Amino acid sequence: KSYNYINPEIVYEAREKINLMISESFRNSLLSLHNGIGVISEEFDNKNTGLRLLKNRYLDLIVISENRIDLAENTFQNSTNMTEILNSLKLLIKTNKAEIALSTFYDKWKSNPLIIDKWFSLQATFTPYNYIFQTIEKLRTHPEFNFKNPNRFRSLIGSFAFSNYKAFHSIDGKGYEIASNWIKKIDKINPQIAARLSTSFEIMNIIEPKRNLLMKNFLKDIRYTKNLSKDTLDITDRILNA
Residue pLDDT, tens place only, 136-153: 999 999 999 999 999 999
For position 3, what pLDDT does the model report? 60
User: For the residues of the chain, what is the DSSP string, one character each?
Assistant: -----B-HHHHHHHHHHHHHHHHHHTHHHHHHHHHHH-SPPS--SHHHHHHHHHHHHHHHHHHHHH--HHHHHHHHHH---HHHHHHHHHHHHHTT--HHHHHHHHHHHTT-HHHHHHHHHHHHHHS-HHHHHHHHHHHHTSTT--TTSHHHHIIIIIHHHHH-HHHHT-TTSHHHHHHHHHHHHHHTT-HHHHHHHHGGGGGGGGB-HHHHHHHHHHHHHHHTSTT--HHHHHHHHHHHT-
Asked if pLDDT for residue 157 goes beyond 80, the answer is yes
The percentage of the chain sitting over the pLDDT mark of 90, rounded to a whole number, equals 95
User: For all residues of the chain together, what is the average pLDDT?
Assistant: 96
For position 43, what pLDDT does the model report? 87
Q: What is the mean pLDDT of residues 16-43?
A: 93
Q: What is the mean pLDDT of residues 14-36?
A: 95
Q: How confident is the model at residue 44 (pLDDT cuts 50, 70, 90)?
A: confident
Asked if pLDDT for residue 32 goes beyond 80, the answer is yes
Q: What is the mean pLDDT of residues 65-90?
A: 95
Asked if pLDDT for residue 1 goes beyond 60, the answer is no
Q: What is the mean pLDDT of residues 3-9?
A: 87
Q: What is the mean pLDDT of residues 168-196?
A: 98
The C-alpha atoms of residue 151 and residue 144 are separated, in whole angstroms, by 12
